[in-house]
Structure 1
Amino acid sequence: MHYDYSSHKYVFSISNNFRSLLPDVSPILNKHYNVCAVVGNSGILTGSQCGQEIDKSDFVFRCNFAPTEAFQKDVGRKINLTTFNPSILEKYYNNLLTIQDRNNFFLSLKKLDGAIIWIPAFFFHTSATVTRTLVDFFVEHRGQLKVQLAWPGNIMQHVNRCVFFSDI
């Protein structure tokens, strides 16, 4: 497949491992929510004590895999969907190069407990290595994590399933 915003000379092969992470049905298909919260990670909620109000929402969107534990009074703890920019893997988890990096990433994912991780990995070719690293990691830990994966972009044209979510 080609990347959405890179030259067409760059391609990404959809492997069987990647396909195996895709489910048959989206976990949010035909779901409707009355109250949703969208929580950024800029720090604007620091000192706001909005956490309880945010957690009352039916669905909570968060940005950039932001930690919540130390900020629960202000941002709450509920997470239904979080974005995951591929640069997070390098910046906070050293591209999963050591056992400690992998353990730290695993423990961070474990805290999400069923949340959807939205990974915009197919926009630019520069995300290819991170995408392969993530696919390998999630295949290796299949059944050990309750997170669900989402890859937006044009990927679904290139696989045989009709949705892009995965419950690993």
Structure 2
Amino acid sequence: MPKIIKNGQVVADHRQLLKLDGDQTPASLTLPDGDIMVPLAVWLARQEEILSRDNSPGVWLDSHEDVEAIAGDLEHFAVIGVNFPKFTDGRGYSTARLLRDRYAYRGEIRAIGDVLQDQLFYMKRCGFDAFALREDKDIEAALSGLNVFSETYQAAVDQPQPLFRRRAA
């Protein structure tokens, strides 16, 4: 069973990440039993079917997809995945901030795709609380990436007050 980092611990990932392959359409994708995380296109095309079979569905957004597409459906999701197709593509950080700050989403936000240890601290600051690292990376060693710095200066999702305000208090 694959593993992820969730809330600062390595845990088994029981959720299946589904993808559309090549010529596959949202309608032709087979939905397996168990907890799933479907691409946005599948959610938009088969929302009623997914809700009728799963009480904790997940959806994932690709880096070019807007969070506004699911803004009205957030209460249905146990997890929202944000895909990083390349580690240099930073659009997912903004997606997590929008989910936490603008839409007040309190469920799991999981980084998927080309996720590396060096990114984890910054992803956590933007609102990610789960991380599916690349398969070729050591997930146990990556845990240290969550605590690279002992103090932060700027405000973020994980610390809403900047350091100068915390020191003054």
Tell which has more relative contact order, 1 or 2 (C-alpha 8 A, sep 6+): 1
Query: Which structure carries more strand by proportion?
Result: 2
* TM-score (norm. length: structure 1): 0.45
